[in-house]
Amino acid sequence: MTKQFQFTIDKKLDGTMARAGTISTPHGDIKTPAFIVGGTKATVKALTPEQVTDLGGQSILANTYHLMLRPGVDIIEKAGGIGQFMNYGGPTFTDSGGFQVFSLGVAYKKGIDAVASSERGDANKARKSTNQLVNITNEGVHFRSHLDGAKLLMTPENSMEMQHKIGADVHMAFDECPSPLADISYLRESIARTHHWADRCLGIHQKLNEQNVSAGQPKQALYGVVQGARHKTLRKESAEYLGSLDFDGYGIGGVFEPGEIASTVAWVNETLPEDKPRHLLGMGSQPADLFLGVEYGVDTFDCVAPTRQARNGALYTHKGRVNIKNAKYYDDFNPIDGKCDCYTCRNYSAAYINHLFKSNEMLGATLASIHNESFVVRTVDLIRESIIEGTFFEYKRTFLTSYYGDGLPSNVTL
């Protein structure tokens, strides 16, 4: 019989909110803490699914907003769901599209920077503009496609219907992601709407799951998404309300600086029910995020920064980020990172990857993406191991000292 969604805590780390666990899905298990690989448009940029699995990726997260625009969710449903469509057999997540409706809707025709920032996590960049092209009502959000300007409406109901057509194992409730700069009265209004939408998402999701069950299909899981910007009262209120509902897990949404993880994420996770998994949406471009997130109770992460940076030649090493296009790599026959055992570092020199980037050869982006994605996936896997072995703080200190040197982000204590 196919497995249903389930979360088990394997080990807790005394004196922290960190835990090692297992998320079971109809497409296999995810050992947590885990870094979920970004597959926004039903493809992990520049990588085959085999390369994703080979680098240690346990699961992929795609985006409802992008997929509704192209190729359209009906095509993915006809293909047999996103796993079949993209030839990936492992567990899959979809983000609801809520964040993108705001960031990309707003960003429409405002230039490439905003579009490049379409995934959660680069929100500060994307959200500079006002919401003038987005019209929010209690029904849902009217917005324009960033591809062709077409007028569209996204509601809790159609986001859930689309996510069921896409058919990932884990869905996110449709939420409003307000600007972190919005005033408190707007944030109160926004959070009430997000909670109202969460009720509606849960209602339609349960109906769609009943259809799954009658068709002999496994149920799909739904995470509620906690908002509340930087306000302790709002974050706790949101976590408490959503935590009381029958969600399978929780996303932590919104926009904040890495340094704020220790406060914002802590407020949320000390309030959410302990026995359900928590996903920090779109954060992970800084290794410090990963350690702090776990310490304050996060089970899974997703972030497209590692592969985006890889395509630009910015590569992670245990001594910090380097630019592989730099002339000093021209004749450096060592791997990018001597301590890394990914496919790229096992088989290619920095000199070769420098050559590929200088020559605009596509294989450069592939090898760099394998390396960066492997780096973050492996870092979180080792965080899991350190929780089980009780060596988390030792690992955190060693890793962050080596990575940041003198440039450790403020608010990170070792």
**Min dist. Cβ of residue 308 to a copy of itself (A):** 12
- Which residue number, 3 or 70, has a Cβ lying nearer to a copy of itself? 70
Among 52, 117, 105, which Cα is nearest to 285's? 117
Tell me how far, at minimum, the Cβ of 343 lies from a copy of itself, in Å.
8
Nearer to a copy of itself by C-beta: 82 or 226?
82
Nearest distance in Å: CB 168, a copy of itself: 16
Q: Supply the minimum distance, in Å, between the C-beta of residue 78 and a copy of itself.
A: 7
- Please, are residues 178 and 190 in contact by the beta-carbon 8 Å criterion? yes
Select the residue interacting with a copy of itself from 136, 192, 314, 363 (CB under 8 A).
363
**Is residue 381 annotated as part of the catalytic site, yes or no?**
no
Catalytic residue among 169, 175, 302, 337: 302
- In DSSP notation, 25-94 reads ETTEEEEESEEEEE-TTSS-TT--HHHHHHTT---EEEEHHHHHHTT-HHHHHHHTSHHHHHT--S-EEE
Nearer to a copy of itself, 1 or 112 (CB): 112
Determine if the peptide bond prior to 71 is cis (ω within 30°).
yes
One DSSP character per residue, 107-148 reads: HTTS-HHHHHT-STT-HHHHTTS-STT-EE-SS-EEEE-TTT
**What is the rounded CA–CA span in Å between residue 77 and residue 203?**
21
Give the one residue of 2, 8, 10, 70 binding a copy of itself; rule: CB under 8 A.
Answer: 70
359 binds a copy of itself (CB under 8 A): yes
Tell me the closest approach of the beta carbon of residue 215 to a copy of itself, in angstroms: 19
- 33 cis-preceded (ω within 30 degrees of 0): yes
Helices (H) and strands (E) in the chain, counts: 17, 16
Nearer to a copy of itself, 104 or 265 (CB): 104
By CB under 8 A, which span of 16-24, 289-297, 325-333, 387-395 interacts with a copy of itself? 325-333
79 binds a copy of itself (CB under 8 A): yes
Beta carbon of residue 69, minimum distance to a copy of itself (angstroms, whole number): 10
Q: For a copy of itself, which residue of 366, 374, 379, 386 counts as binding (CB under 8 A)?
A: 366
Among 37, 198, 356, 368, binds a copy of itself (CB under 8 A): 356
Q: Which stretch binds a copy of itself (CB under 8 A): 154-162, 357-365, 393-401, 404-412?
A: 357-365
Cβ atoms of 380 and 35 within 8 Å: the answer is yes
3-state class of 230 per DSSP?
coil
Question: Which of 64, 94, 100, 354 touches a copy of itself (CB under 8 A)?
Answer: 354
Q: Which of residues 331-350 bind a copy of itself (CB under 8 A)?
A: 331, 333, 347-349
Burial of 125 (0-12, 13-18, 19+ CB in 10 A): middle
Q: Which two tokens stand for residue 82?
A: 């996103």
Q: Given the rule CB under 8 A, which of 105-113, 163-171, 329-337, 374-382 is the region that contacts a copy of itself?
A: 329-337
Nearer to a copy of itself, 71 or 409 (CB): 71
> Is 54 considered catalytic here?
no
AA identity, residue 366: T
Q: Are strands 92-95 and 34-38 parallel, antiparallel or unpaired?
A: unpaired
Q: Looking at 152-160, 213-221, 264-272, 327-335, which segment touches a copy of itself (CB under 8 A)? A: 327-335
Helices (H), 117-226: 123-126, 156-166, 184-214
3 state SS of 21 = strand
DSSP 3-state percent helix, strand, coil across the chain (nearest 5): 45, 15, 40
Within 10 angstroms of residue 154's Cβ, the number of other Cβ atoms is 23
User: What does the radius of gyration of the chain's CA atoms come to, in whole angstroms?
Assistant: 20
Is residue 86 a contact point for a copy of itself (CB under 8 A)? yes
Report 29-68 residues binding a copy of itself (CB under 8 A).
41-48
For a copy of itself, the binding residue among 110, 128, 358, 378 (CB under 8 A) is 358
Of 128, 230, 321, 355, the one binding a copy of itself by CB under 8 A: 355
Question: Applying CB under 8 A, does 365 fall inside the site for a copy of itself?
Answer: yes
Residues identified as active-site: 95, 302
- Binding residues for a copy of itself (CB under 8 A): 41-48, 70-71, 75, 78-79, 85-87, 330-331, 333, 347-349, 351-352, 354-356, 358-359, 361-363, 365-367
